[in-house]
Amino acid sequence: MTEQMAGWVQVCPLSQLLPGEMNVAWDGDTAIAVFNFDGALYALEDRCSHEDFELSAGHFDGENATIECVLHGARFDVRDGSALCAPAYEPAVRFPVKVEDGIVYTRDDRD
C-alpha cells in the first residue's frame, strides 16, 4: 500500500461497483456502505441513525440516490447522509471515498 493510502480501506475494484450498486467495507469496527449513484461514489456509515441497524440490508434506489432502512422505513440521501423521513431525524455519518488505480477506497475519518 502506498504511503498516501495509509488509513484508507479497500472496498472493491471500481468495475465491481456499477451505477445503482453498493458495497460494504469495514474500517476497524465501523461498517461503511459505498454507493455508486450515476457514476459518483458516496460513503455512509452502514448504520441507521434512528436505530442501530445496517442500512445496507435495505433498498438502495439508484435513480433517486436514497437508501431505505428495512427496520422502520427511514430513508437517507446517500449523497449527503440527510434523513429524508421519520422515524430518522439525524443524518447518517458521511465518509470520504476515492478511487486510485481502479480500486475504490474509503475511511472512517472521525477522530
Query: What is the domain-level CATH number for residue 44?
Result: 2.102.10.10
- Would residue 61 count as lying in a domain? yes
Biggest distance spanned by C-alpha atoms of the chain = 43
Q: Model confidence at 3, in pLDDT bands (50, 70, 90)?
A: very low
Q: What proportion of the chain, given as a percentage, has pLDDT over 70?
A: 96
Q: What is the torsional sign of CA 85, 29, 7, 54?
A: negative
Answer yes or no: is pLDDT of 1 > 60.
no
Per the structure, the count of domains in the chain is: 1
Answer yes or no: is pLDDT of 104 > 90.
yes
Closest by CA position to 103, among listed 25, 7, 10 = 10
pLDDT digits (tens, 9 = 90+) for 55-75: 999 999 999 999 999 999 999
- pLDDT for 11 equals 98
Cell numbers given for 44: 455512509
Range of the domain at 12: 3-106
- Would residue 111 count as lying in a domain? no
- pLDDT for 6 equals 81
DSSP state of 83: B
pTM tops 0.85, yes or no: yes
Answer yes or no: is pLDDT of 98 > 90.
yes
- Would residue 75 count as lying in a domain? yes
Answer yes or no: is pLDDT of 40 > 70.
yes
- pLDDT for 2 equals 39
